[in-house]
Amino acid sequence: MSKQSSGKRYSAVALAAPKQRRMDDSMNAPNFVAFPCRNQATMPSNLLVSPNRVQLSFEELKCFEVVDRQFEPWGVRFRNCIAIRPSNPAFPPHSGTTVLMAAPKNGWLEATFPHWVRSLKAFVTSSQRLLLSVYNSDNELLAQIEIPEPNLAGIDSPIPPNKELLIEAPNIYRINFCAFDGQFTVDDLSFEF
């Protein structure tokens, strides 16, 4: 799915099949794994990330912990987000035991990047159709990708749980996951500068 914005064409790629992959060599580069930083007073004022690709590890987050600034030193801040360890087998984690979920409001989760990124990848399981939208710093829609129907574990869906989504566009400042009042989980979120 491609969107037009300001006369420029950007693409969004869902990794459903190998023929749809459009990844450059840097997307295959090793990830820098970023853990949450809990002490705001000791957070560095500048970005700690020197590698191009950062993968967030949610495993050290407490169950039901509100997630907002814990990953700010690594270039991302969240809104309407908690960490959970799913007890419902319909929402299996992609790796480990902890995932992100939209809360306290159902249906949307947002992340912002103070230093723009050019791609991001996440593994998503949703009870409803889900849209992943990316915006620039002027709040212009750059690209969008969707999971067109529920992909819970244990249901008869052609889309497996933990659907790998990849979206690429220059100058991504904000991302929004929206499941239209549904429940969804996000795991193994990574992004590239």
pLDDT reported for residue 141: 98
pLDDT reported for residue 32: 67
Length of the chain: 193
pLDDT reported for residue 185: 98
| 180 neighbors 150 (Cβ within 8 angstroms) | no
CB atoms under 10 Å from CB of 159, counted, come to 18
pLDDT tens by residue, the chain, 193 residues: 333 333 333 333 332 222 222 334 444 444 567 778 765 544 444 334 445 889 999 999 999 999 999 999 999 999 999 999 999 999 999 999 999 999 999 999 999 999 899 999 999 999 999 999 999 999 999 999 999 999 999 999 999 999 999 999 999 999 999 998 899 999 999 999 8
d(CA 181, CA 183): 7
Q: Which of these, 103, 92, 96, 32, lies nearest to 66 by C-alpha position?
A: 103
d(CA 112, CA 67): 13
Two tokens at 160?
């497996």
pLDDT reported for residue 9: 32
**Bridging pattern class, strands 108-126 and 163-178:** antiparallel
- Token match 């659907």: residue? 163
d(CA 123, CA 132): 11
pLDDT reported for residue 147: 97
